[in-house]
Amino acid sequence: MLWPIVTLVAVICVRPGSGSSAGLILTPCSGNIPEQAFGLKAEVVRNINGSTLFSGRWCIDIQDFQTSKGSTVYAWPCGSGSAGTNELWAIEHNLSTQASTITSRQPNTPFCLGASAASGATLEACSSPAAQFKVGLTATTPGTIVHEQSGLCLTVAAPPNCTTLPPTPAPGPIPHGAAPCDIYASGGTPCVAAHSIVRALYGDFNGPLYEVMRTEDNSTRVIGVLSRGGYANASAQDEFCPSYNCVVTRFFDQSPYGNHLDIFHQGWNGHAGTDRGVNPSVDPHTINGHKVYSAYFNPGNGYRNDNTTGVAVGQQSESMYMVTSGTHYDDHCCFDYGNAETDAKDDGAGTMEAIYFGNSTKWWKNKPKNTTGPWVCADLEQGMYPGDDFINPDTIPTMNTQYVTAMLKGRVCEMTLQGGDAQQGALTRLYRGRRPEHDSYNPMRLQGALILGTGGDNSVGGSGVFFEGAVTIGYTSDATDAAVQANIVAAGYGK
């Protein structure tokens, strides 16, 4: 039986009264809550017959008229403009399986509405288990749309209330001999990932920092610290890689969560192919009199962990930092460190939150007069941003010192970017406020993977330098951020 064609539109609002979108997600079925009740209205758009699926003031919509598998489907305010073909759907019922598919009627879009608990609503193959639903609505009576595979209900994720921000934990006393992750823990925002090629990020850490592989025989060696809470044992690397013929195969996570970063081999949609490991011997440095090496990234280098533990998901608050360099960067996507998609695909705006460092301004609403950069930005998927859509780009400080501290923290309705010289001085607040409003960045839909040197969809065009970094759960206080910066300066980069 062919049901009327239905359009579902969802909108995620970033500012009250704005025309942004809302998420379309799967949540447990909860009876007669308005966000799970969908109605049906017949429409004709450009001579194409169909209907709109709506829940209250929201209708279901394919983002930006995209036509490819995996494209984001979300909610948009009904009546905010004439319906487009990206809002037209047809419900078809399969008598043998008793399941229904919701087929897009948009031209050149041979896909159906699909969904997963991790990614929300997307376009999927109509035969996919992700696209099978039990549809409880009719042309005259609203009802639920139940996802067969998960048993969850399609739900409009209403925009969060941005008038009251989540609390920031109060900082506690910092223990003697503390390193960055000890400081974060004392501030109530413990590290869930801590990676470094140069030093321990806990005062009592005495384990491995990274693993190198010798290319001529594929033998490996783990490089640790010289002493508990100390610096990398670069001499062990020099002994094992005398001809500078090694690659880093793993950055060990120093936190209790074991979120190690390995070379990512999958690639997606032509973005990457197989990633390559960095050569650990090309960029030597000294820190407090100790020889160390950086992780020197060129296009094609990248690391990832799609199966993490403890990393922020959904709208959970998080903070992160890395020490990088203002002397090696580019304007390509993306030299990132932070939270990303678990499938190495572009799953839509708001599905990642990572530090970006470089001079790409491709996604900025307003372009700066100076395009040299580099800048500390937030990669939120489908764009690396120095702030919201209204920030004056000519007021954003560049970070071109040899050693740069870059920080990003995010919570419901707000993100903060900070940067500074890792050799001296305090942090500069680069931005604090709402995320960009031209796309669905509120609410965030974090998935909790970790990346280094690549974009969330595994785009590997970025160049950069990585010395150390950590990701926390929770939105850090300014006092905690300042203490971490002071610790980085005290570590003695370049001295």
194 Cβ neighbours under 8 A, 6+ residues apart: 180, 181, 201, 202, 253, 254, 255, 469, 470, 471
Cα–Cα dist 436/412, whole Å: 13
**Structure tokens of 49?**
């017959």
Number of DSSP helices (H) and strands (E) in the chain, helices first: 3, 34
How many Cα atoms are found within 13 Å in the side-chain-facing hemisphere of 442?
24
Catalytic site residue 381?
A: yes
**Phi and psi of 180, rounded to 5°?**
-50, -45
Cβ atoms 168, 318 nearer than 8 A: no
Number of Cβ atoms within 10 Å of the Cβ of 238:
14
In angstroms, the CA 160 to CA 387 distance is 19
Q: Which residue has the tokens 């050693």?
A: 403
DSSP 238: H
- Phi, psi for 366 (deg, rounded to 5): -120, 130
Both tokens of residue 203? Answer: 């005062």
Of 199, 219, 183, nearest in space to 466 by CA: 199
Region of residue 285 (left: phi > 0; alpha: psi -120 to 50; beta: else): beta
User: Where is 467: in which H helix or E strand?
Assistant: none
- CA-to-CA distance for 397 and 389, rounded, in angstroms? 17
Length of the chain (residues): 495
Q: Which residues contact 115 (CB under 8 A, 6 or more apart)?
A: 24, 25, 26, 121, 122, 130, 147, 150, 154
Burial of 362 (0-12, 13-18, 19+ CB in 10 A): exposed
How far apart CA 252 and CA 398 sit, in angstroms, is: 31
Eight-class DSSP state of 2: B
Give me the catalytic one of 211, 381, 388, 468. Answer: 381
Dihedral pair phi/psi, residue 59, rounded to 5°: -125, 155
457 is catalytic: yes
Angle at the Cα of 71 from the Cα atoms of 68 and 77, rounded to 5 degrees = 130
Strands 133-135 and 120-124: unpaired
User: Which position among 379, 457, 468, 481 bears the catalytic label?
Assistant: 457
CA of 240: how far to CAs of 131, 249, 280, in Å?
52, 14, 12
Active site amino acids? 381, 457
